[in-house]
Structure 1
Amino acid sequence: MFIANALADFVALIFPRTCLACVEPLARGEDYICTGCRAQLPYTDYHTLPEAHNPLARRFWGKVPVRHALSYLRFLRHGRVQHLLHQLKYQGQQDVGRILGRWYGTELASHGLAADFDLIVPVPLHPRKLAKRGFNQSDTFAEGLALGLAVPWSAHTLRRTEHTDSQTRKSRTERWLNVATVFEVNAPASLVGKRILVVDDVLTTGATLEACAAALLAAGCREVSIATIACTEH
């Protein structure tokens, strides 16, 4: 054991593992995100609020019925969360999604929310974009949530039928029109009466999640909840 620890320390000295949020070296026992950054991440704690006081839930009022509107972190430009999401989406650091999902899933479970979900469904990428990126960042978050919540997840429940333009610079109306009819449900009979948690990486206007929720409800799901790694201020 002593030799193994000494070897690990030597390797860490030559090739230091760094925190994916602040880029400082990780201590022994830390994985991907250091203890300091974890303590300082901007948590929303929306899962502790009544629906009437949940600002995220209000974004869906009058549009699509959402049972729970959840997001782990607040998205702040040039902050730790933006850096983590950049590492996840563009640097291939898939473990960022998994570890954040596991942490959040464990926290949601401790508040009794695991019993409200039968299946976790990530927002799908179009096959062309999936082939180019090599993975779906929402899948990694769903995988982590499934572990923390002890609820199954499926990457094949929803499919995206059209390759759409980036949502980044679009207005809310433009975002909705861009994705309103591009999601379809595979094997809808298997979802009848199910309570679905549909997940994505970042929520801005909510147009993409709204479109997914509408497709799932139309397929016969009993209710739909949403969860994201982060959400922007509205």
Structure 2
Amino acid sequence: MVFKNLNIGNNIKNLFFPEVCLGCNNFLLQGEEVICTICRNNLPITGFSHIHDNQAYKILYGRVRIEEASSFLWFYKNTIVQQLIHNLKYRGHEEIGTFLGTWYGHNLLESPFYKNIDIVIPVPLHPKKLRKRKYNQVSNFGKAIASILNISYSENVLIQSKITSSQTTKNRTERWLEKSMAYQTCDKINLNNKHILIVDDVITTGATVEACAKALKKEQNCRVSVATIAITA
């Protein structure tokens, strides 16, 4: 009887406050969560989790030693993926990170390349930016992946010690110069012989994850892999 009442309550709530797809803004149908079935079927999945020498890996190749690198979706402007990233990053829809992280976590679980990960960590936000936004947009994505892979998750491994400005108008060299000194590891955490999976939202030039990986490798004897929600096409 309790469950019946809950279902009635949910139906009434959906009647007056219908949930919308965070990809296209159309109303969600019963059984749909976060994004509608049409948007889900139209997401441009890369398939990188089963390809070692993929575009995400190639972006970082020769710049920093990376074991594996992968991105879930292709990022194009004025598309569902851009809308999802915008809603996740600027409109407080953290459920998008959980939804995509759970989905991608199962892909990584089935991949032959992500069997020995010890800990998942997000690219950190500077404390000032974190206070303003109130959340790290990749936290839930990383937590969901860690849960599916049944491994640890921590937000205390890396620290962004220097705040960086918007990267959208900078070229690769400018991004690298600004990012290179922005991250450092926490001295209290021992990562010797650990395999770390860094998660981020979108990889464009790779400057951010490169800086994070170099910070980890500078002070710890560890291996680093990368997984992002999307990669620019």
Q: Distance in 2 between matches of 1:164 and 1:85?
A: 19
Gaps of 5+ in 1: none
**What residue in structure 2 maps to residue 46 of structure 1?**
48
Contact 1:117–1:196 (8 Å) recurs in 2: yes
Alpha-carbon spacing, 1:113–1:150, altered in 2? closer, same or farther (3 Å): farther
Aligned residues: 231
How do 1:60-209 and structure 2 match up within 5 A?
A: 60-187=60-187, 190-209=190-209
Q: What amino acid does structure 2 have at the position aligned with 1:141? A: F
Q: Distance in 2 between matches of 1:178 and 1:77?
A: 25
- Residue 27, structure 1, aligned to residue 24, structure 2: no
SS at match of 2:138: helix
Taking structure 1 as the reference length, the TM-score comes to 0.94
Q: Which range moves more in the overlay, 219-228 or 79-88?
A: 219-228
Q: Distance in 1 between matches of 2:127 and 2:32?
A: 35
- Percent identity reads 41
Q: Distance in 2 between matches of 1:68 and 1:46?
A: 10
SS at match of 1:190: coil
CA drift of 1:184 comes to 0.5
SS at match of 2:87: helix
Per-residue CA deviation, residues 23-46 of structure 1 (Å, 9 max, x unaligned), is 111122221112221111010111
Per-residue CA deviation, residues 84-118 of structure 1 (Å, 9 max, x unaligned), is 01111111011111111111011110224442210
Per-residue CA deviation, residues 45-66 of structure 1 (Å, 9 max, x unaligned), is 1111232xx1221111111011
Root-mean-square deviation (CA, aligned residues, Å) is 1.5
Q: Distance in 2 between matches of 1:162 and 1:222?
A: 23
Gaps of 5+ in 2: none
CA drift of 1:9 comes to 2.1
Per-residue CA deviation, residues 119-150 of structure 1 (Å, 9 max, x unaligned), is 11111111000000001112121111112221
Contact 2:52–2:113 (8 Å) recurs in 1: no
CA drift of 1:186 comes to 0.6
SS at match of 2:153: coil
Q: Distance in 2 between matches of 1:160 and 1:125?
A: 6
Contact 1:192–1:219 (8 Å) recurs in 2: no
